[in-house]
Structure 1
Amino acid sequence: MTFATYTRAAETGLGLEFSAALHQMMLRFADYRIYRATLKELGKLDDRTLADLGIARSGIRAKAHEAVYGTRD
């Protein structure tokens, strides 16, 4: 009796690179959506509330960026 086996090697090369790039792009897009939501929420606040938080209206973009991506170097 004869047995035939087919073993497929782990996928490497271009397919794996494409998968990693797609995953990275999805993560970046998710961060961008959080950034946009943070901008929207901070933009809804009145000046007094922003002052209580220690944020100037002109600094909303910087604070949203810091909240999502970390500090700017």
Structure 2
Amino acid sequence: MKSWTYAELTKKAEKQILRLMKTAAEAKDSDEEKLYREWAYGVFLGWSDLTFGWIQDGDLERLENLTKGEGEG
């Protein structure tokens, strides 16, 4: 069975959020853009739930900001 370190989980979530936000930026219309932005936020919510109690300083804000199109990872 696969086990994940905090760093691995955080890096994977970051990559997925960035991928989804890039797709949102390239969307054909506002509905599609909104969908991908919501999926990116869902990745953030899943990450924050899985890592609750171990979240390192700055990671929560950094990943959430990525879902708002702020920052580049």
Q: What is the TM-score when the length of structure 1 is the normalising length?
A: 0.42
Task: Give the greater-gyration-radius structure (CA).
Answer: 1
Higher RCO by CA contacts (8 Å cutoff, separation 6 or greater): 2
